[in-house]
């Protein structure tokens, strides 16, 4: 046999008499595993570097001094290893004996019993109790944070929690305190976790081998043998982490816990929302029966009554005012199948294109801008691929809070030596780690990005070969950025010219540079221009179409990508197929039956405007909460109240549902099947773990029942059959039938069954052929500060809440840790206004005012205040400006002018 020279050299050794060959550099632990032998271990964990602390994995190696630990010892040729020799077993017994001498062996009541490594090994080696006397280490349990307990008397000091906090999270909230026997795991100065840098991801809880770390929500809810796990997808954010819902069966099966699924998106890791934010499922506020308006309140009704009413009223409006007097909002939180059916109902049954959803409020600019520039409006690369980058340029994305698990990829890249450029009006967590931090004023992105392109072209740093072979429009671009000098950009953005130059050079020269952006780029009246500028920057430098590069819009919601893919947009049919293309339209007409509408539908903000003007008279809103998510809420409320008929389908009585005539109770993510498409275009299966509460139904079932009542039978055995229909109509989903998705899902385009999916777009050529470089021109935001409203307001997400808070604010832990709204104000600005930290203030814009507490912090720039938009009681969107980007029709949620004063 000839050895392939590319293969790493193999080392042959013997483990317990079994011959095994492993690549050089493998540890004895891994070699034994390869031979099918699992060596007992407590401190070792696949996520973590070997540390050799617990010493339980000691083995006997012929000729070696002492008993080396398998986890830290590299293999050597001819090594003879014994993993269970008499000496080894004796040592393991002694170590277990010693551990038990300082462990509260309360297995009878411990949550972890049955799932505890220490218990397993004590059983295996017959160590029933310790042979040592004397008092144990006594530290009281730490119960101070809302998410988990730390029982020091069950801690065995393996250090997994400390290392995951360091090596994986790069948070370093905890470490060992004290020394020797008095060692304990603690924060610096032993402050509570809430005052530490802890982000409550709970990955420490996940790796704890004993019962020392326990999620509060799961205490008393049943032990390992009483639960089973259901693999599904997290309902928060666009990363699409794989989740294992822990379900306890019984009369009413309940979710009692969550653990990270070992999927390709998250590899077992989770953030605080995914791990501790699931208890909204069993909230007493869940809608369980249909509600029909009666006066100022609601009365419960049967499904038949409610759906008959909805079908009748919508039918009447259509009859009287025409199909375009109806509009529907589908949902970035619902499944692909549900969004597909929803837009099918709107188009095929109602006969209008008035369907949109909150993608309009987040990445409409990406869909339009990247579509124009590259031919496809999605993340070009993959999550795993991000780790290959040698430079990250993060602009308008607070990745650590908005996409926590994705940010870990960036941190892993940084640890491997990658550089980081961050551009943001706020000093975000990533900005703190950045090599170059560009703190530009809100709404000045084109000036900043244009100046970078200016520097690159002027200094000849562009990738000429790439520009010549794969782009068009360089001359127009060059001419347009001639005026966007770094000095000009400094005046507009507030960022020193030399920093802009440095950033441009670093980005252009990087071997593999990945751009990550989010709503800081898109939610502007210049959102499309911002995206075009990013697309041009990447294309000019040839930083696209390869591993570790790309233009990566980070989608905000769990299925915002899928809702767009499924045609939940007023201008395209599923799969971004234009109804203006007769052939494509006919394909759908043949499949669906009725002739399809050909005129452009209205977007979210336009629907509200039309409703206020009486052009839209009936609306069907599925799983969206415009009463909190849309700009200028005063106007939204006016619009919704002026409707003849509003039906809202949700899991809670949201701010929007309160205005409805009929409210339909829907199933949450854990209660139904379907697929979500994450930010990297990955379609993943959602599985049903528990039944919906009361009479609540999955959204797809409700749509089917309604369609039937409106004269269009929709009959599907289940979501799988709906997806089959999608695969026939949407080419990029051609291979997404459930049978072909597999555990980790697939990334579109996936044109036929068996296709592996597409991790990186635009490899050989761009989706539209050549990348189009559009000329850039800086336009200021629609509203800028003046003497009356002297400050910029920018809005966004925080780690602990999600979107309009309908779920997270009903999750006990998340609500407990960030119960109240606040406005971030720079210390200098606060001092000038006579505002101190924690004081109640009034923030007012031309459209309204809210009262909330001031958080004085230099995370924000002196000219800028920041308000998270999750809180209904002080809704940031009362203040925001509904001015629209002319192409993407996205409102300028990220910039408006406000004044702040003590309240």
Return residues touching other proteins (CB under 8 A). 50-56, 58, 66-67, 69, 72, 74, 87, 90-91, 94-95, 98-99, 101-102, 131-134, 156-157, 159, 175-176, 178-183
Closest CA to 456 of 516, 515, 500, 405: 500
Q: Which residues pair with 793 in a beta bridge?
A: 865, 896
Tokens of 656: 């929007």
CB of 125 to other proteins, least distance (A): 13
For the bound state, the minimum distance from the C-beta of residue 677 to other proteins, rounded and expressed in Å, comes to 42
- Measured from the CB of residue 533, what is the shortest distance to other proteins in angstroms? 39
- Over the range 864-892, which residues count as b (16 or more CB within 10 Å of their CB) and which as e? bbbbbbbbbebbbbbbbbbbbbebbbbbb
Q: CA 673 to CA 687: how far, in whole Å?
A: 5
If the CB atoms of residues 18 and 93 are measured against other proteins, the closer one turns out to be 93
3-class DSSP state for residue 329? strand
Q: How far is the CB of 752 from other proteins (least distance, A)?
A: 48
DSSP 250-294: SSS-EEEEEEE---TTTTT---HHHHH--GGGG-TTS--S-EEEE
Minimum separation from the CB atom of position 175 to other proteins (A): 6
Omega of the bond leading into 749 within 30 degrees of 0 (cis): yes
Give whichever of 67 and 622 is closer to other proteins, judged by the CB atom.
Answer: 67
DSSP per residue, 364-383: HHHHHHHHHHTS--S-SS-T
Query: Of 35 and 174, which CB lies nearer to other proteins in the complex structure?
Result: 174
Q: How far is the CB of 94 from other proteins (least distance, A)?
A: 4
User: Rounded to 5 degrees, what angle do the CA atoms 843, 845, 851 make?
Assistant: 25
Minimum Å gap between C-beta 71 and other proteins is 9
- If the CB atoms of residues 94 and 226 are measured against other proteins, the closer one turns out to be 94
CA distance 500 to 780: 19
Residues 681 and 385: their CA atoms lie apart, in Å, by 13
What are the strands, taking DSSP E only, across 315-404?
Answer: 326-329, 355-356, 391-395
The three-state (H, E, C) secondary structure of 598-629, written as one string: CCCCCCHHHHHHHHHCCCCCEEEEECCCHHHH
- The nearest distance, CB 102 to other proteins, in angstroms, is 6
- 794's enclosing H/E stretch is strand 791-796
Smallest distance from other proteins to CB 15, Å = 19
Closer CB to other proteins, 121 or 620, in the complex: 121
Nearer to other proteins, 103 or 810 (CB): 103
**Smaller CB distance to other proteins: residue 418 or 844?**
418
Minimum CB distance to other proteins, residue 118 (Å): 11
**Min CB(181)–other proteins separation in Å:** 5
Q: Which residues pair with 425 in a beta bridge?
A: none
Identity of the residue, 51 or 376, whose beta carbon is nearer to other proteins in the bound complex: 51
Q: Closest CB to other proteins among 53 and 205?
A: 53
Nearer Cβ to other proteins (51/428): 51
Q: Which is nearer to other proteins, 88 or 499 (CB)?
A: 88
Which DSSP state fits 58? B
User: Among residues 505, 538, 512, 477, which one has the least CA distance to residue 762?
Assistant: 538
Q: Which is nearer to other proteins, 102 or 266 (CB)?
A: 102
State which residue, 25 or 832, has the beta carbon closest to other proteins: 25
Query: Closest Cα to residue 341, out of 660, 563, 557, 601?
Result: 563
Provide the β-strand partners of residue 891: 884
Least gap, CB of 49 to other proteins (angstroms)? 9
Single out the residue of 518, 484, 572, 558 nearest to residue 779, CA to CA. 484
Radius of gyration over every alpha carbon of the chain, rounded to an integer in angstroms: 29
Min dist. Cβ of residue 506 to other proteins (A): 22
H runs (alpha helix) in 758-861: 812-817, 827-833
Would you say 52 or 253 has its CB closer to other proteins?
A: 52
- Least Å distance, CB 87 to other proteins, is 8
Coil/strand/helix, residue 149: strand
**CA-wise closest residue to 795 among 891, 868, 712:** 868
Q: What's the min distance (Å) between Cβ of 17 and other proteins?
A: 22
What the block records as the tokens of 631 is 């700009």
- Taking alpha carbons only, the member of 174, 104, 163, 109 closest to residue 139 is 104
Of 68 and 290, the one with the shorter C-beta distance to other proteins is 68
Q: At 737, list the tokens.
A: 């039938």
For 367-402, b/e burial (b = at least 16 CB within 10 A) is: bbbbbbbbbbbbbbbbbebbbbbbbbbbbbbbbbbb
Of the candidates 806, 512, 520, 500, the one whose C-alpha atom is nearest the C-alpha of residue 650 is 806
């Amino acid at each position: 046999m000839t050895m392939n020279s590319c293969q790493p050299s193999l080392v042959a050794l013997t483990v317990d008499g079994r011959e095994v060959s492993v690549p050089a550099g493998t540890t004895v632990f891994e070699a034994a595993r390869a031979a099918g032998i699992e060596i007992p271990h407590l401190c070792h964990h696949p996520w973590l570097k070997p540390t050799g602390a617990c010493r339980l994995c000691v083995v006997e190696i012929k000729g070696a001094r002492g008993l080396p630990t398998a986890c830290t010892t590299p293999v050597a040729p001819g090594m003879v290893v014994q993993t269970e020799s008499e000496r080894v077993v004796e040592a393991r017994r002694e170590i277990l004996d010693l551990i038990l001498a300082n462990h509260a062996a309360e297995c009878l009541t411990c949550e972890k019993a049955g799932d505890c490594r220490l218990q397993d090994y004590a059983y295996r080696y017959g160590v029933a109790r310790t042979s040592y006397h004397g008092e144990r280490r006594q530290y009281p349990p730490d119960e101070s944070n809302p998410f988990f307990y730390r029982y020091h008397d069950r801690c065995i000091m393996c250090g997994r929690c400390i290392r995951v906090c360091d090596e994986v999270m790069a948070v370093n909230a905890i470490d060992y305190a004290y020394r020797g026997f008095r060692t304990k795991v603690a924060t610096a100065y032993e402050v509570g976790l809430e005052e530490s840098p802890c982000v409550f991801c709970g990955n420490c809880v996940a790796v704890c081998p004993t019962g020392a770390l326990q999620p509060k929500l799961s205490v008393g809810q049943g032990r390992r043998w009483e639960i089973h796990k259901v693999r599904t997808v997290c309902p928060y954010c666009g990363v699409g982490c794989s989740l294992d819902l822990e379900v306890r069966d019984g009369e009413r099966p309940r979710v009692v816990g969550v653990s990270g699924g070992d999927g390709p998106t998250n590899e077992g890791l989770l953030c605080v929302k995914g791990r501790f934010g699931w208890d909204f499922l069993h909230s007493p506020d869940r809608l369980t029966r249909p509600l029909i308006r009666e006066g100022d309140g609601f009365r419960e009704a049967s499904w038949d009554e409610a759906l008959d009413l909805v079908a009748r009223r919508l039918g009447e409006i259509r009859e009287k005012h025409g199909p375009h007097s109806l509009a529907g909002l589908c949902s970035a939180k619902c499944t692909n199948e549900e969004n597909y059916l929803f837009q099918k109902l709107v188009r095929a049954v109602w006969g209008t294109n008035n369907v949109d959803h909150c993608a309009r409020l987040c990445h409409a600019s990406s869909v339009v801008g990247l579509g124009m520039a590259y031919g496809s409006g999605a993340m070009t690369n993959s999550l795993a691929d991000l780790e290959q980058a040698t430079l990250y340029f993060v602009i308008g994305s607070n990745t650590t809070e908005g996409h926590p698990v994705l940010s870990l990829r960036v941190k892993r890249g940084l640890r491997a030596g990658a550089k980081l450029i961050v551009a943001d009006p706020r000093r975000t967590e990533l900005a703190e780690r950045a090599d170059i931090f560009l703190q530009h004023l809100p709404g000045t992105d084109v000036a900043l990005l244009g100046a970078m392109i200016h520097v690159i072209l002027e200094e000849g740093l562009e990738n000429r070969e790439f520009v010549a072979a794969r782009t068009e429009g360089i001359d127009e671009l060059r001419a347009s950025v001639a005026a966007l000098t770094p000095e000009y950009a400094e005046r507009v953005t507030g960022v020193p010219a030399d920093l802009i130059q440095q950033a441009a050079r670093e980005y252009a020269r990087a071997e593999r540079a990945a751009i990550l952006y989010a709503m800081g780029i898109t939610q502007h009246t210049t959102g499309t221009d911002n995206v075009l500028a990013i697309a041009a920057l990447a294309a000019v430098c040839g930083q696209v179409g390869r591993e570790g590069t790309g233009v990566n819009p980070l989608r905000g919601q769990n299925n915002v990508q899928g809702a767009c893919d499924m045609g939940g947009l007023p201008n395209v049919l599923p799969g971004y197929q234009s109804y203006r293309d007769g052939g494509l339209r006919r394909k759908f007409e043949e499949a669906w039956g009725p002739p399809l509408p050909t005129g452009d539908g209205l977007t979210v903000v336009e629907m509200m405007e039309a409703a206020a003007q009486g052009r839209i008279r009936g609306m069907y809103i599925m799983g969206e909460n415009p009463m909190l998510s849309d700009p200028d809420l005063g106007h939204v409320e006016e619009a919704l109240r002026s409707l003849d008929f509003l039906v809202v389908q949700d899991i809670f009585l949201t701010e929007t549902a309160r205005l409805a005539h009929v409210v339909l109770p829907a199933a949450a993510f854990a209660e139904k099947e379907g697929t979500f498409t994450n930010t990297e275009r990955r379609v993943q299966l959602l599985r049903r773990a528990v039944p919906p509460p009361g009479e609540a139904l999955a959204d797809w079932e409700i749509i089917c029942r309604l369609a039937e009542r409106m004269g269009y039978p929709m009959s599907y055995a289940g979501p799988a059959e709906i997806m089959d229909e999608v695969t026939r109509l949407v080419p990029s989903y051609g291979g997404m039938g459930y049978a072909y998705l597999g555990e980790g899902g697939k990334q579109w385009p996936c044109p036929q069954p068996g296709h592996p999916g597409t991790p990186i777009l635009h490899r050989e050529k761009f989706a539209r052929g050549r990348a189009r470089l559009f000329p850039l021109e800086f336009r200021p935001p629609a509203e800028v500060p003046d003497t009356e409203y002297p400050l910029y307001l920018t809005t966004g997400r925080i780690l602990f809440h999600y979107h309009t808070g309908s779920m997270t604010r009903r999750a006990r832990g998340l609500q407990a840790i960030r119960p109240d709204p606040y406005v971030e104000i720079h210390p200098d600005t606060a001092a000038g206004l006579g505002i101190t930290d924690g004081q109640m203030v009034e923030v007012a814009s031309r459209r309204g005012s809210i009262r909330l507490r001031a958080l004085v912090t230099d995370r924000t720039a002196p000219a800028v205040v920041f308000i998270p938009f999750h809180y209904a009681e002080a809704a940031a969107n009362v203040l925001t400006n509904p001015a629209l980007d002319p192409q993407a029709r996205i409102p300028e949620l990220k910039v408006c002018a406000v004044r702040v004063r003590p309240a």
